[in-house]
Each structure stands twice: as structure tokens, then as C-alpha cells.
Amino acid sequence: METTKKTRVIVGMSGGVDSSAAAALLLEQGYEVVGITLKLWPQDCLSRAEDKCCGPQAVTDARAVCHKLGIPHYLVDESESFQKQVIANFAAEYKAGRTPNPCVICNEKLKFGALLDRARQLGGEFVATGHFARLEKSANGRRTLLKKGRDPLKDQSYFLFSLRQDQLARSLFPLGEKTKLDSRQAARDRDLKTADKEESMEICFVPDNDYGKFLEASKLAQRHRARLSTCRDR
């Protein structure tokens, strides 16, 4: 008997409830689901909150959810790209007197950039995340339109505004029509360990939400890297 090949979707697994629920819902919709967690920090994140998306607990939780759902899970090191494209931009924007939004850059360059590249390597047709946003086709079917999530309290479409058409066309947002309560209930119904996990509302890479301290530490680290580079060139 001929079998129908399932559409493979790569889900960005942050170790939180929303990405967990997204993976579960896609699996039940008949997709072949593969979970990927991006390792974004070059050093151990134990000095930061462990439940942040860069921390070891986040990786452990994402892996546990994938195991529970019976899907593959991969940890992909994108720490160098994160440093160059997100951290450096964050510091440069503050230095220039502007207020940056690193989540926008991270989504564009990594979650829907590097992750899409990994999806292609793994034969995935789409990338999915737990963002509360929706996608619709334009009236002529030529464009993919980014829309607000149905839950006005959790809409995250703003963080995705810079995505290109080629990125949107290959993206899925399973929680776009749902609320945060729906997301938690979906995780509870499937006995996922992240169901009641506390939300992370601040920038994931800034310890204790202390921007000044972080920027000063980043400046020192940049000087140290410059000195090492100079020594290697001699």
C-alpha cells in the first residue's frame, strides 16, 4: 500500500510552554515534527536564570518535551551568530542613543534565518514557533500577510515585523488562533512538564534586567577579544 509522505516541520523549542504546545498541536495535525533548540550563548548560562532560553534548564525541558511527544530533538550551536548579530547590535544601538529590540533581530536572523537553513538541511518544509501571531494569504495569493494573534494580551506579531516574504511563506504559528490559557491547557492535557512553567518576560541575555552592567561587561569582553585578535596577528 502506498503511504503518503508527511510534511516535515522544524519547531524551534525554547523549553517554554508555548513552543511545547506548538509542537504537540502540529504533531496531532499530522505533521512530521522535529524539535531544535538553538544554543545562543558561547558560555555556560548558569550565571543567568536557568529558565531563560539560553540556559541549560531550557535545553533539558525542551528535550524532555520532545521525548514525551516521541519526536527527535537537536541542539544547534548558534552562539557565534548570536554574539555578532544580536549582542553586538544591542550594544551598538544603545551606544548610538537608540533603544534596540533584540528579539526582532533574533527572530529575523536566527529563529527564521539560521533555523530555516537547518530546516532545509533536514528536509523540513516549514519552521514553526510558539509565537502568538497569524499568517494569511493576500487576496491574489501572492503574498503572505502577518496578522496579530487572536489573544490581544499576548500578540507577538510586532516581534516578527521584519521577516521577509520568503521567511513568512515557510513559517507556521500554531498558537495564532489561541490564547495563553489555551497553550497551557494544551500542554497540561498532554502531560508536558512545561505546562505551568513561569513566563520569561525580559530580555533573555541580560542578567537581573541590569542593562548598564551588561553593556559594561560586553564592552570589556569586546576589548578582550580585540586584544586576543591583535596578539594572534603578530
> Which residues are tagged catalytic?
106, 204
Helix axes 17-28, 56-69, angle to 10 degrees: 20
| DSSP symbols for 159-216 | GGTT--HHHHTTEE-TTTTS-HHHHHHHHHHTT-TTTTPPP--S-TTSGGG-HHHHHH
Are 21 and 183 a contacting pair, CB within 8 Å? Answer: yes
User: C-alpha grid cell for residue 17?
Assistant: 510552554
CA terminus-to-terminus distance, the chain: 67
